[in-house]
Amino acid sequence: MSFNGTAIVTGAAQGIGRAIALRLADDGFDVALNDISAKLEELETLVAEIKQRGRQSSPHVGDVSQEEDVKRIITQVVELHGGVDVMVANAGIIHRRVPMTEFSAEEWDQVMNVNARGVFLCYKYAGLQMIKQGRGGRIIGASSINGKQARPNLGAYSASKFAVRGLTQSAAQEFGPHAITVNAYAPGAIDTPMMASFVEDPAAFRETNMSPLKKIGVPEDMASLVSFLASKESQFITGQTVSHHNHSGRNRMLSFSALDID
């Protein structure tokens, strides 16, 4: 298997992040893994799994909402792996489902800090490193279908994921001259531990949130999309936020081009 460079995946301990890390390893990337300290055991297990697949890997504990943590992670990855070629800013949280009139400012800050500030910091410091390296790169962020079609009682989450779309468009224009593409993925209903912990009746949720394909997504579906966005074949796609599906079952059509902004 050819070596395609080094990727960083944040929020890699479970769910979509874990699937992305494994897929990128299969694609020929060494993969640096990030999550919070409570997830270190899961990270170390994933590191071992990636090494069994013939790629290098390393765990990096840190909070993506903290600037010094993100800077440290980038520095560690460069020292261990020689550079950063792909940044997948996947880490995110979802809040309890309540009307905004019952949602506290502290809870708002927590969601926005991880989902929006964290993506900004990953974009910023990965971009700085890629510019320094001078060989281009891929920056990929986690939006959501709720960042394209907001839902009631998920105000902070929806706002944070809309923010990722705007940040992605802006970053694509700023980093484009350095051969760095910036895109995001927007999952709909994906069968993950986060989903299971968030909904009261997972079985009913799966039934009512199926895509037009009449099934719910799995993490590997999003990993396949990220695999493409991280590849050489996506070199003329930037500024996009690509949907999985929306909850109303209507497909969204995206035109792919150099900064044909969605």
Cα-Cα-Cα-Cα torsion 198, 203, 204, 209, nearest 10 degrees, comes to 80
Alpha-carbon distance of 157 to 205, in angstroms, equals 18
Q: Which of 161, 185, 214, 215 is catalytic?
A: 161
Q: What is the largest CA-CA distance in the chain?
A: 54
- Identify whether the C-beta of residue 140 lies closer than 8 Å to the C-beta of residue 88: yes
**What are the tokens at 14?**
């479970």
Alpha-carbon distance of 120 to 227, in angstroms, equals 21
Active-site residue flag, 39: no
Active-site residue flag, 185: no
User: Closest Cα partner for 11 from 80, 71, 60, 74?
Assistant: 60
Q: Which of 123, 125, 148, 157 is catalytic?
A: 157
**Enzyme catalytic residues:** 157, 161
